[in-house]
Amino acid sequence: MSLRAAGPEDAAVIAAMEQAAFADPWTPESVRGALWAPEYRIYVAETAPACGSLYCGMTCGQAPAAVGYLIGRIVAGEAELMRVACDQSCRRQGIGGALLDLFVKEAAEAGAQEMFLEVRAGNVPAQQLYRKKGFVQAGIRKNYYRHPQEDALVLQRHLGGADEAEDPFAPVRIS
């Protein structure tokens, strides 16, 4: 697997993964708009098959295929994770975590002090990933999601800005 910045050619495949993963998916036009906005960071995870390896059904000789993506933005010293999803056949294999690690690193390097995200109250696997990556609950948004209606948990992680860019998962000392 490799991670890379998304380009305009990725908008359709990201939108297709959105359709499969979310009840309120972004359209290809929304994805393309974010690709051109300087505050957005959009990454794609793709297979990088090597001879003799298997990964998500890909075998040696096949072209790399997108298996996950992340959409985030960095504004005024804060980062927000907007979307992250993986192809259903590739879930729980570390792809979402790798994409999140990359975004955390780049956000810290860009000077972001905090990162926020919303997650469905019932999405326990995602909550487990975010907690593993150092996020804590900062609040609840009642009836935030539609289709089905559900609360959102607001999660937050302190980044520390450029000083933490070397190791975005370093423990925080409290005096």
Check residue 164 and give its pLDDT: 44
Taking only the tens place, the pLDDT of each residue in 33-64 is 999 999 999 999 988 654 444 445 444 556 66
Each as own residue / partner, the long-range contacts of residues 12-16 (CB below 8 Å, 24 or more positions apart, any chain) are 13/44, 13/66, 14/42, 14/44, 14/66, 14/69, 14/71
Instruction: Return the CATH number at 33.
Output: 3.40.630.30
Tell whether the model's pLDDT for residue 165 goes beyond 60. Answer: no
Helix residue ranges, H only, the chain? 11-21, 28-36, 95-109, 124-132
Check residue 74 and give its pLDDT: 96
Tell whether the model's pLDDT for residue 95 goes beyond 90. Answer: no
CA distance 141 to 134: 20
Q: Establish if 174 belongs to a structural domain.
A: no
Tell whether the model's pLDDT for residue 162 goes beyond 80. Answer: no
Check residue 24 and give its pLDDT: 85
Q: Establish if 170 belongs to a structural domain.
A: no
Nearest 5 degrees, angle CA 4-CA 6-CA 11?
A: 150
Contacts of 139 (CB under 8 A, 6+ apart): 153, 154
Determine the residue type at 78. E
| Overall domain count for the chain | 1
What number of other Cβ atoms are within 10 A of residue 44's Cβ?
23
CA distance 164 to 77: 14
Q: Establish if 172 belongs to a structural domain.
A: no
Residue 41: give the domain boundaries: 2-164
Check residue 61 and give its pLDDT: 55
Q: Which two tokens stand for residue 54?
A: 């298997």
Q: Establish if 173 belongs to a structural domain.
A: no
Q: Establish if 169 belongs to a structural domain.
A: no
Q: What pTM was estimated for this model as a whole?
A: 0.81
Taking only the tens place, the pLDDT of each residue in 9-27 is 899 999 999 888 888 888 8
Percentage of the residues of the chain whose pLDDT score is greater than 70: 80
Q: Are 116 and 78 in contact (CB under 8 A)?
A: yes
